[in-house]
Structure 1
């Protein structure tokens, strides 16, 4: 499966990029997780069609691909916003008010955890630990880490950085 039959040149290009990555692997056996990471980097998420394509290219059942995608929390089958926001709810962050920070993001963006704003700009998730406990509470937007976030005003300032 690829996107040769679809009328979306960008999708065709993305499938071609993923296919080239898989074809360049010296050993396809045991490469599923690295292929899924690359696929998610290319597509932004892992819909059914991408999982089927990966399975075909690696010669493994789609059910096995789905099993890995659904097991690991890093992988997502739903599109994320342009700016994915993750609020750490690990112990250190939680005791320092991460639940209030999460509530401030929900109120400011008008979405719940696991949702994306209607304009596709922001998505909101909670995670267990980012490993930056000394900066608690911690928020990540993409790969950028924000530490010691504990007021609604800080949340508004962070969101404002990404408004265009």
Structure 2
């Protein structure tokens, strides 16, 4: 759940300016790991922007999400270098361990979100994943399961 006071602080920090909507949405996304739809409506009203336009911005940019994301956001690269170096078995191991499907990307406990990306820019370390933007290279299905287990233990 988001706080109106926190949202107001974010909006104020950007000068209550319509032209700052992307920066405002980015800050909200950073704080909550997603943008709640009613929060988006609140922001659009505060900035005097139509809710449709605000929704269009959020759905246009891939980094924004209207769905809650997990505490740990795992991105697995499926670019050419990673794909050739067998990123698919790593993806399958992640899905199996987290009990996720193509349609379900976040665990029920909101601990993990799994996303496939085109490139993470670390081709020399392929296959690569990131967890909350920390890079893990030369991954294997076994190593990724060990990594998940260590994160679960930290919980």
* Same structural fold, with TM-score higher than 0.5 when normalized by the shorter chain: yes
RMSD of aligned residue pairs (Cα, Å): 1.6
**Residue 112 of structure 1: aligned partner:** 101
**Residue 87 of structure 1: aligned partner:** 76
- 1:124-143 correspondence runs (5 A): 124-143=114-133
Stretches of structure 2 lacking an aligned partner (at least 5 in a row)? none
1:63 pairs with 2:69: no
Q: In structure 2, do the counterparts of structure 1 residues 29 and 119 end up closer, same or farther at CA, with 3 Å as the change threshold?
A: closer
How far apart, CA to CA, are the structure 2 residues paired with 1:154 and 1:24?
42
Stretches of structure 1 lacking an aligned partner (at least 5 in a row)? 1-9
1:122 pairs with 2:112: yes
How far apart, CA to CA, are the structure 2 residues paired with 1:48 and 1:63?
11
Give the drift of 1:47: 2.1
Superposition misfits of 4+ residues, deviation over 4 angstroms: none
Give the drift of 1:25: 2.1
Corresponding residue pairs, total = 152
Secondary structure of the structure 1 residue equivalent to 2:152: coil
Give the drift of 1:26: 3.7
Give the drift of 1:87: 0.6
- TM-score for the superposition, normalised by structure 1: 0.85
How far apart, CA to CA, are the structure 1 residues paired with 2:118 and 2:127?
12
Which one has more relative contact order, counting CA pairs under 8 Å at least 6 apart? 2
From 53, 63, 72, give the equivalent of 2:61. Answer: 72
Give the drift of 1:41: 1.4
Give the drift of 1:103: 0.8
- TM-score for the superposition, normalised by structure 2: 0.90
